């Protein structure tokens, strides 16, 4: 008479046992990486906090200057005391400076990205932050040019309270300069992290995006001031 051997029961591991199982390799209840797979291909696709934060900040800045623009247009059309004046010529030079700073920052970003990925070219091994310093100097030069424009208007007797049109000029240009100082602080932070070899690519990209946005915002403000003032 044949003896039937019962199939052993299938036991599901407890929660404590599952935590002891390997989290990578073949098998396992928390196997996030297939055997022979590339872990970079199965990482979450959510954006890094730096990218999310910078977009929120740019949206807030856009809304702020949109409110300034709306107030300027409404104020100009509702009262007859609006005075037109010629913009200081240094503002046009500053426009070239901030455009050049965006170019040098993009050159730096690509050079540093190549350095971080190991594709080092001539000059990147000894000075990967070279163009970052150039961008920083151009940013400081832009702020100096803005300061010169304010002092020039003040020396001509056109202060903040002279006329509402001058008030809008100071408010818009000073607000932009203050936001640009934040970008300069970001550049200093990137340079410091790069020099200590702890720079993340997301930090570099977020700083670059903010700086390019400041350049585009200045072009918009200059056009607005030229048309309305």
pLDDT of residue 127: 63
pLDDT of residue 42: 33
Instruction: Name the CATH code of domain 86-228 (choices 1.20.120.80, 3.30.450.20, 1.10.3470.10, 3.40.50.2020).
Output: 1.20.120.80
Stated pTM of the model: 0.75
Contacts of 99 (CB under 8 A, 6+ apart): 215
- Using H for helix, E for strand and C for coil, what is the string for the chain? CCCCCCCCCCCCCCHHHHHHCCCCCCCCCCCCCCCCCCHHHCCCCCCCHHHHHHHHHHHHHHHHHHHHHHHHHHHHHHCCCCCCCCCCCHHHHHHHHHHHHHHHHHHHHHHHHHHHHCCCCCCCCCCCCHHHHHHHHHHHHHHHHHHHHHHHHHHCCCCCCCCHHHHHHHHHHHHHHHHHHHHHHHHHHHHHHHHCCCCCHHHHHHHHHHHHHHHHHHHHHHHHHHHHC
pLDDT of residue 116: 72
Encode 165-196: b = buried (16+ Cβ within 10 Å), e = exposed. bbebbbebbebbbebbeebbebbeebbeebee
What does each of the 229 residues of the chain score in pLDDT, given as a tens digit? 455 555 544 445 444 444 444 444 444 433 434 444 444 333 344 456 667 889 999 999 999 999 999 999 998 877 777 888 889 999 999 999 999 999 999 999 888 888 777 655 544 454 678 899 999 999 999 999 999 999 999 988 887 777 888 899 999 999 999 999 999 999 999 999 998 888 888 899 999 999 999 999 999 999 999 988 8
- The candidate with the shortest Cα–Cα distance to 226, out of 74, 72, 79, 64, is 72
CB count in 10 Å sphere of residue 48: 14
């Amino acid at each position: 008479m044949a003896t039937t051997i019962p199939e052993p029961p299938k036991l599901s591991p407890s929660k404590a046992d599952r935590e002891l199982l390997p989290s990578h390799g073949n098998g396992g209840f928390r196997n996030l990486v297939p055997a022979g797979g590339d872990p970079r291909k199965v990482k979450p696709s959510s954006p890094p906090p730096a990218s999310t934060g910078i977009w929120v900040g740019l949206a807030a800045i856009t809304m702020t200057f949109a409110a300034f623009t709306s107030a300027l247009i409404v104020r100009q059309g509702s009262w007859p005391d609006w005075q037109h004046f010629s913009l200081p010529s240094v503002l046009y030079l500053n426009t070239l400076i901030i455009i050049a700073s965006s170019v040098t920052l993009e050159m730096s970003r690509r050079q540093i990205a190549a350095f971080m990925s190991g594709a080092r070219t001539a000059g990147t091994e000894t000075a990967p932050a070279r163009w970052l310093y150039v961008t920083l100097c151009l940013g400081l030069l832009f702020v100096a040019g803005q300061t010169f424009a304010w002092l020039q208007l003040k020396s001509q007797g056109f202060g903040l309270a002279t006329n509402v049109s001058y008030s809008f000029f100071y408010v818009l240009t000073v607000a932009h300069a203050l936001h640009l100082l934040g970008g300069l602080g970001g550049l200093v932070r990137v340079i410091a992290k790069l020099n200590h070899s702890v720079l993340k690519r997301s930090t570099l990209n977020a700083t670059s995006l903010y700086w390019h946005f400041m350049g585009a915002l200045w072009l918009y403000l200059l056009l607005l001031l030229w048309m309305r003032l």
